Amino acid sequence: MAVNSLHLRLIDEQATVALGNTFAEAVMNQLKCGFVAYLYGDLGAGKTTLTRGFVQGLGHSGKVKSPTYTLVEPYEIGKWHAYHFDLYRLSDPEELEFMGIRDYFDEKACCFVEWPDRGKGVLPNADISISLQYCDEQREVELTAHTSKGRTLLAVLGER
């Protein structure tokens, strides 16, 4: 039976980056198309760190900065498009309509969305939810698949 959720302990920042790297490998080798991931967790839980691991895993070698003020940071990496959203400062989901949100979510787009609740009603549904929590100095992560794409990703992550 396909697994719908996975729980992992991330002992340090490098482990969070490595999870993002593995995610990128799963997309390049198994999924081979875009997806939507919602990222949950308090400030400093590691949402941006995980996304950095992902875009670097796809082959991005430059900086990965948090799009707190710009709402979205786009990356074009070979044939892949990755979009890192941070909706923390979004006051109204309608702002997403004004920025042409629908154009971002195409077949090739790998989308990571921090604070997805702020875009409720406008954001497309998630294939996978990733919830990060403080656990002393470390972190715990719970990944939940909502679609067959999400289950494909989970299956690969669960093998590690």
3-class secondary-structure state, position 90: coil
Residue 43, binding choice from Mg ion, ligand ADP, none, Cβ under 5 to 8 Å by partner class = ligand ADP
Residue 59 is a binding residue for ligand ADP (CB under 6 A): no
The window from 24-32, 39-47, 105-113, 148-156 that contacts ligand ADP (CB under 6 A) reads: 39-47
Given ligand ADP, Mg ion, none, residue 107, with its beta carbon under 5 to 8 Å by kind, binds: none
Return the SS3 of 116.
helix
The residue within the footprint of Mg ion, chosen from 16, 21, 22, 48 (CB under 5 A), is 48
85 Rama sector, left if φ>0, alpha if ψ -120 to 50, beta otherwise: beta
Residue 97's SS3 state is: helix
CB of 11 to ligand ADP, least distance (A): 6
Contacts with Mg ion, 62-91, as mask; x by CB under 5 A? ----x-------------------------
Among 22, 47, 60, 127, binds ligand ADP (CB under 6 A): 47
DSSP 126: P
Residues with Cβ within 8 Å of residue 121, at least 6 apart in sequence: 93
Is 139 near ligand ADP (CB under 6 A)? yes
Could you tell me which residues come within 8 angstroms of residue 126 by beta carbon, excluding any fewer than 6 positions away? 36, 37, 38, 113, 116, 146, 150
